[in-house]
Amino acid sequence: MNHEELVLTIAEVCTKARVGRTKLYADIRDGKLRARKNGRRTVVLADDLRAYVDHLPELKPKRAE
C-alpha cells in the first residue's frame, strides 16, 4: 500500500503546493481546487490537489530576440 496521505489539511496543501492560504482559499472559492468539509475542518483529497497542480498554467519561455 502506498503511504501517501489521502486527505490533506489546508496547511499541508499550502506546503505541498507552495501556495499561500489566501490564494488557496481564493482558488477553492473560484472552483479551481475542490475541497471538502470534515466537521469544521476544510480538507483536500490528494487526487484533487494533484489535478489542481496539473492544471496550473504552464510557463512559456520567452523567445530570444
pLDDT tens-digit map of 8-61: 999 999 999 999 999 999 999 999 999 999 999 999 999 999 999 999 999 888
Can you tell me the distance from the alpha carbon of 8 to that of 16, in angstroms, rounded to the nearest whole number? 10
3-state secondary structure of 34: coil
Q: Crossing angle for the helix pair 10-17 and 21-29, nearest 10 degrees?
A: 100
Q: Residue 65's pLDDT is what?
A: 63
Higher pLDDT among residues 62 and 16, named by residue: 16
Are 9 and 43 contacting, i.e. CB atoms less than 8 angstroms apart?
Answer: yes
3-state secondary structure of 5: coil
pTM: 0.81
Can you tell me the distance from the alpha carbon of 16 to that of 19, in angstroms, rounded to the nearest whole number? 8
Q: Residue 10's pLDDT is what?
A: 96
